[in-house]
Amino acid sequence: MTTNITDDRLERLIIKATRAQWSSDRIDWSTEPLLPERLPHRIYVDMVSQLYHAELAALEVLGRLVRELPEPQARRFLAIQIVDEQRHADVYRQYLERLGDIAPIDPGLAAIFRFARETELPAFAGVVALNIVMEHEALAQQKQRIETLPCPLFGAINRAIVSDESRHAGFGVIYLAGALPHAAHADRLEVAAWVRRLWAMWCEANEGRYAASGAEVLRLERVHLGERWDLLAERLTGLGLATAEELAHPEGTCA
């Protein structure tokens, strides 16, 4: 699929993203980390570590997208997003250094990234997965963490990151609204099925996670994941990826 998409909204987003760049110096690193009561240190470290690993995975996806998307304007935005995601990984890494440890990537999360990496699909699939599904899910989780976790330092980090990720999600909507009408129907259906599988794997990876006593504040409940998929499916349907029936609850634990 080759299109010559030039969108005034995307151009404004590029200008906004360029002006909104920030550095880790804006974070007050003198603030001591504060963990929730009763939550074991190793579990808290695991939660933050998975956010860090997800940022590294996003960088890998972006490296591929910036090579494969045919539109120069889209690639200009992605170049800015790469800088954003690297900064996010850096501040999560600094926070983990303050915590004194880093956990390995969760096997379920690693399987999702491996599945996404090994599947050959049209380039726009990466925008669907990263800028719609992953960014919207990241925004939902980060807002939940800001509201429920007591650490002022972690809250400051996530509030800074949320402003970037809102723009990344906005790019996904703008780009796909222009690109999907030019995509072959068979390609759109293949990507829809792939994204449903990715979400099912995400649900499976979270099943039983943070089940230890004291970790309730970190759990992602099935019902909430199901509700979030409904919102994502509605957005993807509106963008023209597939019908509501084709984006119905994926097989897995979030239905």
Instruction: Examine residue 13 and state whether it is found in any structural domain, yes or no.
Output: no
List, for residues 47-61, the tens digit of each pLDDT value.
Answer: 999 999 999 999 999
Instruction: Examine residue 6 and state whether it is found in any structural domain, yes or no.
Output: no
| Residue 163, domain CATH | 1.20.1260.10
Q: State whether the Cα torsion 146-150-156-157 is positive or negative.
A: negative
Instruction: Examine residue 219 and state whether it is found in any structural domain, yes or no.
Output: yes
CB-based contact 27:91 (threshold 8 Å): yes
> How many angstroms separate the CA atoms of 157 and 48, rounded?
11
* Helix (H) or strand (E) run with residue 186 in it: helix 185-206
CA atoms within 13 A on the CB side of 215: 17
List, for residues 90-114, the tens digit of each pLDDT value.
Answer: 999 999 999 999 999 999 999 999 9
Instruction: Examine residue 159 and state whether it is found in any structural domain, yes or no.
Output: yes
Nearest to residue 163, comparing CAs of 75, 93, 97, 84? 84
CB-based contact 167:13 (threshold 8 Å): yes
Instruction: Examine residue 130 and state whether it is found in any structural domain, yes or no.
Output: yes
Name residues whose C-beta falls within 8 Å of residue 120's C-beta, 6 or more positions apart in sequence. none
List, for residues 187-220, the tens digit of each pLDDT value.
Answer: 999 999 999 999 999 999 998 889 888 888 998 8
pTM for the model = 0.93
Residue in the structure block whose two tokens are 């960088």? 59
Instruction: Examine residue 170 and state whether it is found in any structural domain, yes or no.
Output: yes
Encoded tokens for 116: 């996404």
Q: How confident is the model at residue 152 (pLDDT cuts 50, 70, 90)?
A: very high
Name residues whose C-beta falls within 8 Å of residue 71's C-beta, 6 or more positions apart in sequence. 3, 4, 5, 6, 175, 179
Instruction: Examine residue 52 and state whether it is found in any structural domain, yes or no.
Output: yes
Number of domains within the chain: 1
Instruction: Examine residue 2 and state whether it is found in any structural domain, yes or no.
Output: no
Structural domain for 59, as ranges: 37-239
